[in-house]
């Protein structure tokens, strides 16, 4: 069956299609009718709605026809691509095609990783898939180091080790070095850190069945930063960047970490465990320490970290945190240029003390549901303890918009991929 042709029109559809009609059809062609008086953002939202409706027809694929701007094609494809049996998209054969192909490759990688079942995507499999994809884009420029299982404990990566030790599938810290100049003395321009919890039961602070259902997505941060690095490489990144993925399964067993445990990190900070479901910040702390060791002037971490961020932004925006307000402003500008919605939430140095402990320098949360008031900021405050130079150049992205439990009028169910374009832009502009 040939692909359905899809074109844009700024004319009103014939009355029998509805008043006003977003879509009309003629033989092998669908026409999306846009309101010329609306803003480009409103028109893009209409394109997204049309893409979801067309995907609902269960076609064999679509082919763009007529006149489309680059971002219009992208928004359609972004909303059209379903998680299961995704159908092909044929771009217009013009100057935008290469850019769209690069973005779409990064989108496919990011979404497919997040949507993978937790059985197939163990911590080691997450690391391997990331290595394989980045290496396929820049083989000679990539080197890799990994700490697996007990090697983490021996090396002092206490957060990843303890969160992951309850599973029979070992945790992993991956360090991937993209060094296009092949010079070991080349300074690291940026470091990326991703939360890679391939499944999160909550540990002994166990989630409900409903809350656990979508926890395959808890490695969305790792997928997002890897997708961002891959996109930047395809778009000509010529600076050295290190990628740190903090990979573990948070499960219950006789060897799992427990409430009341105290972990001491490489920088000497001791942490009392008051909630084993606040595990993301524990693994990211190791990644941030490793990133800080590179002396990179830009450090970005991404994580599906808190429900509090989702409550604040409604799942439409990713939440941003930074002590360095210039770095925050730069990240927001890059995201805006890439049409990704982000929103800053409060973070000050005193947020480090919002999770007090009688037995350690800090607790990993507050012993309240959801971590209590300001939970997203308190989590960011915890992370800030593990970044060098008072957080200069560091931005924390809480990926509130990373995953949809169900399809809606604008996006399919599952991973969204929102976030990788903005991060790639920061790398390219560094």
pLDDT in tens, 56-107: 998 889 999 999 999 999 999 999 999 988 899 999 999 999 999 999 999 9
With respect to residue 366, please indicate whether it lies within any of the assigned structural domains.
yes
With respect to residue 359, please indicate whether it lies within any of the assigned structural domains.
yes
Q: Locate tokens 């524990």: which residue? A: 282
| pLDDT computed for residue 145 by the predictor | 98
Q: What pLDDT digit, counting tens, does each position of 131-160 carry? A: 999 999 998 999 999 999 999 999 999 999
Q: Which residues contact 254 (CB under 8 A, 6 or more apart)?
A: none
With respect to residue 348, please indicate whether it lies within any of the assigned structural domains.
yes
Same-domain check for residues 269 and 132: yes
Q: With cut-offs at 50, 70 and 90, classify the pLDDT of residue 116.
A: very high
Same-domain check for residues 125 and 237: yes
**pLDDT over threshold 90, residue 425:** yes
**For a pLDDT cut of 90, what percent of the chain falls above it?**
95
With respect to residue 101, please indicate whether it lies within any of the assigned structural domains.
no
Same-domain check for residues 151 and 293: yes
Q: Which residues contact 22 (CB under 8 A, 6 or more apart)?
A: 13, 32, 33, 46, 49, 50, 53
With respect to residue 100, please indicate whether it lies within any of the assigned structural domains.
no
Same-domain check for residues 168 and 235: yes
With respect to residue 103, please indicate whether it lies within any of the assigned structural domains.
no
Closest C-alpha to 194, from 288, 267, 327: 288
| Residue 63 burial class via C-beta count within 10 angstroms: exposed 0-12, middle 13-18, buried 19 and up | middle
Q: With cut-offs at 50, 70 and 90, classify the pLDDT of residue 19.
A: confident
Distance of CA 266 to the CA centre of its chain: 26
**Residue where a domain terminates, one of 72, 94, 116:** 94
**Residue where a domain terminates, one of 46, 63, 94:** 94
Q: How many structural domains comprise the chain?
A: 2
Q: In whole angstroms, give the CA distance from residue 88 to residue 109.
A: 15
Same-domain check for residues 255 and 123: yes
Same-domain check for residues 383 and 310: yes
Q: What pLDDT digit, counting tens, does each position of 379-418 carry? A: 999 999 999 999 999 999 999 999 999 999 999 999 999 9
| 299-303 and 394-398 beta bridge pairing | parallel
With respect to residue 243, please indicate whether it lies within any of the assigned structural domains.
yes
Same-domain check for residues 87 and 115: no
323 within 8 A of 390, measured Cβ to Cβ: yes
Catalytic residue check, 195: no
Annotated catalytic residue within 82, 165, 216, 281 = 281
Same-domain check for residues 41 and 117: no
Domain hosting 168: range is 108-429
Q: In whole angstroms, give the CA distance from residue 248 to residue 345.
A: 27
Same-domain check for residues 56 and 200: no
CATH number at residue 119: 3.40.630.10
More confident residue, 1 or 181: 181
**pLDDT over threshold 60, residue 1:** no
303 within 8 A of 194, measured Cβ to Cβ: yes
| pLDDT computed for residue 348 by the predictor | 97
Q: Average pLDDT over the chain, rounded to whole?
A: 96
Catalytic residue check, 281: yes
**Residue where a domain terminates, one of 63, 94, 125:** 94
With respect to residue 402, please indicate whether it lies within any of the assigned structural domains.
yes
Same-domain check for residues 257 and 350: yes
Same-domain check for residues 35 and 83: yes
312 within 8 A of 319, measured Cβ to Cβ: yes
Same-domain check for residues 321 and 187: yes
Terminal-residue alpha carbon distance, the chain: 46
Q: With cut-offs at 50, 70 and 90, classify the pLDDT of residue 371.
A: confident
Q: What pLDDT digit, counting tens, does each position of 34-49 carry? A: 999 999 999 999 999 9
């Amino acid at each position: 069956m040939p692909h359905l042709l899809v074109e844009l029109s700024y004319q009103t559809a014939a009355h029998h299609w509805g008043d006003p009609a977003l879509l009309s059809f003629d033989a092998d062609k669908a026409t999306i009718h846009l309101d010329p008086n609306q803003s480009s953002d409103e028109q893009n939202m209409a394109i997204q709605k049309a893409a979801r409706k067309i995907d609902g027809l269960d076609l064999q694929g679509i082919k763009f026809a007529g006149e489309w701007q680059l971002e219009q094609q992208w928004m359609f494809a972004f909303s059209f691509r379903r998680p299961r049996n995704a159908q092909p998209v044929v771009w217009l054969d013009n100057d935008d095609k290469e850019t769209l192909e690069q973005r779409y490759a990064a989108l496919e990688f990011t979404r497919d990783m997040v949507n993978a079942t937790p059985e197939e995507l163990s911590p080691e499999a997450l690391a391997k898939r990331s290595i394989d994809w980045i290496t396929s884009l820049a083989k000679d420029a990539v080197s890799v180091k990994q700490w697996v299982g007990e090697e983490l404990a021996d090396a002092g990566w206490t957060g990843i080790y303890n969160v992951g030790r309850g599973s029979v599938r070992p945790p992993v810290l991956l360090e991937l070095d993209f060094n296009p100049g092949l010079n070991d003395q080349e300074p690291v321009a940026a470091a990326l850190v991703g939360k890679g919890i391939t499944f999160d039961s909550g540990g002994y602070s166990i989630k409900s069945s409903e809350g656990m259902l979508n926890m395959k997505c808890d490695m969305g941060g790792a997928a997002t930063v890897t997708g961002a690095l891959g996109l930047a490489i395809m778009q000509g990144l010529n600076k050295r960047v290190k990628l740190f993925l903090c990979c573990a399964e948070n499960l219950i067993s006789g060897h799992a970490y427990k409430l009341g445990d105290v972990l001491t990190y490489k920088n000497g900070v001791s942490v009392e465990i008051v909630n084993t479901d606040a595990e993301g910040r524990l693994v990211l702390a190791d990644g941030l320490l490793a990133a800080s060791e590179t002396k990179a002037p830009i450090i970005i971490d991404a994580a599906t970290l808190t429900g509090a961020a989702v409550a604040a932004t409604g799942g439409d925006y990713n939440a941003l945190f930074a002590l360095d307000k210039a770095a925050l402003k730069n990240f927001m500008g890059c995201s805006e240029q890439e049409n990704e919605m982000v929103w800053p939430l409060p973070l000050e140095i005193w947020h480090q003390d919002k999770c007090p402990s009688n037995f350690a320098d800090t607790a990993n949360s507050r012993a309240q549901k959801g971590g209590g008031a300001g939970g997203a900021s308190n989590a960011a405050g915890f992370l800030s303890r593990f970044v060098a130079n008072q957080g200069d150049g560091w931005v924390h992205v809480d990926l509130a918009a990373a995953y949809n439990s169900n399809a809606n009028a604008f996006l399919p169910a599952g991973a969204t991929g929102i976030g990788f374009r903005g991060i790639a832009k920061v790398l390219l502009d560094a």
